[in-house]
């Protein structure tokens, strides 16, 4: 039995999809489907409060799995030895509060640090493999580089509360000499199908596709660094299919442990990211550079590039999809189709 927390989310549902392709259906999904917020809808005659419900259940419709539990309920079940009694052999913990703009650090601390620590300890005590999601956001401005070496990890200085909540757990593992017992995955900029429920946290490809279809143009943030022209800021963009293959490498190779980058090892510009969208839609390129919100300027990463040496040395040999091919696949086979979901 395999548990995938955050199994209805973006990366989690893609992991379940790939497991299904490999013939695996003995999967327990763990996630939260609580309302994601409230907003005021001003109609012609009155103002009504509307609840924003989660749409990520749609990611599950095409998938096969054994059972599904709410994340809070699952935490309580684990306190009664559910993992051991159910024959769970691997927990892939991808569930988290993943908004990089979330300011409620109490929420982040409980979801991203304390809950992760709780599950990790439960798994280690029951000799169950534990694979969890960290984030490349922990690298901050990159002043220490982008190596997943443990000495580097201890010195990172994240730029936002979300990244710091992820950094706390990475540090806890390293400081307690536990990285030889679990696997941590520092995901870089992942994009691809099944991210549609993420709102503002969707990838630029997803949001840009909708912009281009509606207006014929795409908006990118202006650069505020002398080192980069507009749209030439660089990130390590990785397609969801490649991120999933790297994740499941550790499920298939149980003797490999530690904290690893999940990226391509190539820094690409935002201009390079969006141009294949226009090409796939047979539309002329039309990029507009807009001002960045003030609250993002001090937290913005102008450059990220995963050091993939450690993962390759661990035995991962798969080729990584080139950026233009990945964007084209996403646009042509998902975003521009009536059924956008992995199946």
Residue with tokens 């964007």: 327
Nearest to 32 by CA among 120, 86, 82, 107: 107
Round to whole Å and give the CA distance between 83 and 2. Answer: 10
Give the tokens for residue 278. 């226009």
Helices and strands: H and E segment counts in the chain: 13, 15
Cα 153 from Cα 162, distance rounded (Å): 16
In contact, 340 and 193? CB cutoff 8 Å: yes
Contact 323, 266 (CB under 8 A): yes
Dist CA 260 CA 150 (whole Å):
10
DSSP state string for 104-161? -HHHHIIIIIIHHHHHHHHHHHTT-EEEEEEEGGGGTT-TT-S---HHHHTT---SSH
The residues carrying an active-site annotation are: 162, 198
What are the distances in angstroms from CA 184 to CA 120, 150, 176, 308? Answer: 11, 11, 14, 14
Give the whole-angstrom CA distance, residue 12 versus residue 28: 11
Radius of gyration of the chain from Cα atoms? Answer: 20
């Amino acid at each position: 039995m395999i548990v995938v927390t955050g199994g209805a989310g973006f990366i989690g549902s893609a992991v379940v999809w790939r497991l299904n392709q490999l013939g695996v259906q003995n999967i327990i999904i763990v996630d939260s489907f609580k309302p994601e917020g409230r907003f005021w809808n001003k109609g012609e005659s009155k103002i009504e409060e509307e609840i924003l419900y989660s749409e990520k259940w749609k990611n599950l419709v095409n998938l096969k799995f054994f059972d599904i539990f709410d994340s809070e309920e699952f935490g309580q079940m684990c306190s009664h030895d559910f993992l051991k009694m159910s024959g769970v052999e691997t927990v892939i913990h991808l569930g988290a509060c993943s908004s990089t703009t979330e300011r409620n650090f109490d929420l982040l601390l409980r979801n991203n640090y304390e809950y992760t620590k709780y599950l990790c300890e439960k798994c280690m005590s029951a000799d169950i493999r534990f694979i969890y999601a960290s984030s490349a956001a922990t690298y901050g401005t990159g002043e220490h580089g982008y190596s997943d070496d443990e000495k580097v990890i201890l010195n990172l200085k994240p730029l936002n509360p979300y990244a710091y909540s992820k950094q706390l757990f990475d540090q806890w593992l390293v400081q307690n000499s536990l990285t030889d017992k679990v696997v941590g995955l520092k995901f870089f900029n992942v994009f691809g199908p099944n991210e549609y429920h993420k709102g503002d946290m969707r990838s630029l490809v997803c949001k840009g596709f909708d912009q281009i279809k509606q207006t014929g143009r795409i908006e990118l943030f202006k650069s505020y660094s002398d080192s980069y022209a507009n749209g030439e800021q660089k990130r390590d963009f990785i397609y969801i299919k490649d991120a999933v293959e790297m994740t499941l490498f550790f499920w298939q190779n149980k003797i490999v442990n530690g904290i690893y980058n999940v990226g391509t090892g190539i820094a690409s510009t935002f201009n390079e990211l969006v141009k294949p969208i226009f090409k796939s839609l047979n539309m002329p390129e039309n990029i507009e550079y807009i001002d960045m919100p003030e609250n993002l300027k001090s937290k913005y990463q102008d450059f990220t590039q995963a050091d993939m040496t450690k993962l390759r040395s661990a035995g991962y040999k798969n080729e990584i999809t080139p950026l233009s091919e990945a964007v084209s696949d996403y646009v042509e086979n998902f975003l521009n189709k009536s059924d956008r979901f992995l199946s």
